Amino acid sequence: MDSVPEASGGDIDAIVDRIFVGTVSRVHFVQDGLAENCDPRLYEWPLQVDFDIQENIKGEGDTASVFINPQKMQWNSIPKHRMDGAWIPQGKRSPAIELSSSVAWSSEYAVQEGQTVLIHAVEEEGKLFTSGMPWGVSYEDGFKFQAHEWCVMSMPQALRGTFTIDTLRQELQRAPQVEARDDVMSFENVSESYCSPDVQPTPMESGPDAGN
């Protein structure tokens, strides 16, 4: 039986408009005029993360702002680290976004002012938004994606552990493989609306006792 081709960097290149390494300069909510039905502090207002760009992999610019819509984040966030001053929601059904004046995190995205991260983003109407790809955290020997194991395992083999920017650039040059697969797991995050009465949590562990 023929083997199933794994996803390649070419598949990533096909779905994102910007890839860069940036240092977080600011984390804040911005008002969304369409927010009418939910608490704007948590649900509808986009979270804007501003970056000073250190290196462009795809696209150009010295600064960038990436918007995260809390409605598109997964439920039951488990912070990677507890940050002093951050608001910690109570209960296992808490929203998956937490914010202080300098830090925010969800299941896939955790950012703090001064932190250097690898970003994949899509452009819509002149603004950059998260692409569904997790963000890469900077380590001494390269970058590693913040993600649940199932998400990492759907990525190209070369990007599943710690990798360098040179490795990423080489991987992006590979031919796309997803179109040749019939069991594709999308890079898109599971989306749930906080405002819907029919919301069901995503099937993952949650709460302070889960997955330490």
Whether the Cβ atoms of residue 46 and residue 65 lie closer than 8 Å to each other:
no
Neighbouring C-alpha atoms within 13 Å toward the C-beta of 75: 16
Domains and CATH numbers, the chain: 17-139 (2.40.50)
Most confident of 38-52, 82-96, 111-125, 162-176: 162-176
Supply the mean pLDDT for the chain. Answer: 67
pLDDT per residue over 60-84, tens digit each? Answer: 999 999 987 654 443 333 344 343 3
Q: Are strands 127-130 and 63-68 parallel, antiparallel or unpaired?
A: parallel
E-assigned strand segments in the chain = 18-29, 47-58, 63-68, 98-99, 103-105, 110-112, 116-124, 127-130, 136-139, 142-145
Q: What is the pLDDT of residues 42-56, one digit of tens each?
A: 445 577 889 999 999
The reported pLDDT for the residue numbered 54 is 96
- Identify whether the C-beta of residue 202 lies closer than 8 Å to the C-beta of residue 96: no
pLDDT at site 77: 37
Task: Check residue 43 and give its pLDDT.
Answer: 47
H helix or E strand, kind and range, residue 165: helix 165-172
pLDDT digits (tens, 9 = 90+) for 171-205: 999 888 766 444 433 444 323 333 333 333 333 33
Predicted pLDDT at 181: 43
